[in-house]
Amino acid sequence: MLFEKYVSEVKSIFESYFKYVLEMQKEGSLDSQGNTILYPNILLITNCSGYYVAELIGAVRVYDGLTVKRHKEKSIYRYLSQFDGSKPDPCFNLEGKNSGFRFLCLAQDADFKALKERFPSIETYGSKLNRTGGKGSVFSFGENFESCSIENCILVNRLDNLYRCKNILATYIFKSAVTKIELIDFFNKNLSEKEVKGIHTVKGKSEEQLIVAGQLQSMYLFPGIHETTIGEFLKLHPEIIKKAFKTEHFEYEPYLKWLEHDGTCDDTAINPDLLIKRSDGYYDIYDLKTAALAKKNITKGGRKRRRFIDYVEEGVAQLANYEEYFTYQKNSDFAKEKYGIEVKNPKLVLVVGSWENSSPEEVVQARRRYAGIEIIDYDTFCQLFIGTEQ
């Protein structure tokens, strides 16, 4: 099956399915045993060089459709392991069709005590399977593999002393040779059961927050993920921004025309990722990069010459450009008229890197040239969300 045809078919299947689930909920026909139901809002569809993957992402109380995002990945094993595409020594080798895994934590040589601080959502899983001596993806795929489902699971991946956790609400993997008839037959079998698929059920606000945080971590630890996809997830889960940065309101990607400048500007507009309202009514400026998973360190050089790598420098330069925009009165008037935004002595914040590649001490040293700019890594961002008072 051609990839775009696969995208179209899977999108149609899930749109019909969740429309039906929503009708059942409105009729009072869903029994959540007193728990809160959280729906996905992103359908991430990935072409993995011989495999097609459809993953439901998100955790919101009100279902309002699925935003489809496409992704291309060179290896199904990098997709699952979050590190590389090398051949794994797995927990399971999958053959045939319709294999399924549900409500499990699957790990390779994991130290669960060491995981809790960075990945607190792991505590929501009671059943854990931890293989010793394995490496790479917890799954491998044989020559006769056709299809499988992974639902409400967390995959714990390890490379040397680094850990990453992939929180999965629902992921469906197919050989790319799958036909339309096979695809429809697979989902007819998997989605026709009395138990609803593709949703979270949580016991309270605290567990809901852990689920959302786990989904966020899976997004920024996704190899090769685009900044726009992370931004889309945050846009669709505004409570993350509001709680982490203690704000009542923010604007996501406002389009602000350059109406006034010094004559050297070739751009027609700026499009900052986030403008976040402060308690005094003015807005700060935030830019979202990625966790830069391929970089061992987001800084370089010895202490006296410590500086950021180019990827981070680009973000810093972008923030400076956004700040300059608001130094011109016509631009400021336009922003206020169109979005109600006023900027005065803005805090400039770049979200980039993770605990793996962002040393607080080295970041402080590299920031000496940029006293007015803050750098926050994604794990700290996530902790700010989790640690916010209920």
117-129 pLDDT, tens digit each: 899 999 888 788 9
pLDDT exceeds cutoff 50 at 250: yes
Look up the pTM and report it: 0.91
Structure tokens at 362: 């080295």
Q: What is the dihedral of CA 14, 17, 21, 27, to 10 degrees?
A: 140
The pLDDT tens digits of the residues spanning 352-384 come to 999 999 999 999 999 998 988 999 999 999 999
pLDDT grade for 389, boundaries at 50, 70 and 90: very low
Predicted confidence band of residue 109 (pLDDT cuts 50, 70, 90): confident
How far is residue 178's CA from residue 60's CA, in Å, rounded to a whole number?
Answer: 31
- pLDDT given for residue 302 in this prediction: 94
Residues 6+ apart with CB under 8 A from 67: 41, 42, 43, 232, 236
Parallel/antiparallel/unpaired status of strands 162-175 and 200-202: unpaired
- Position 259 scores a pLDDT of 97
Domains defined along the chain, listed by start: 3-209 (no CATH), 237-386 (3.40.1350)
Q: How far apart are CA 178 and CA 183, in angstroms?
A: 7
Q: How far apart are CA 326 and CA 345, in angstroms?
A: 10
pLDDT in tens, 188-233: 999 987 889 999 999 888 899 999 999 999 999 999 898 999 999 9
Is 299 in contact with 308 (CB distance < 8 Å)?
yes
**Do the beta carbons of residue 139 and residue 90 sit within 8 Å?**
yes
Tokens of 98: 């319709």
Q: Which of 110-114, 320-324, 353-357 has the lowest mean pLDDT?
A: 110-114
The b/e string for 23-48 (b: 16+ C-beta within 10 A; e otherwise) is eebeeeeeeeeeebbbbbbbbbbbbb
Write down the mean pLDDT value for the chain: 94
Contact indicator for 190, 54 with CB cutoff of 8 Å: no
- What is the distance between the alpha carbons of residues 12 and 137, in angstroms, rounded to a whole number? 30
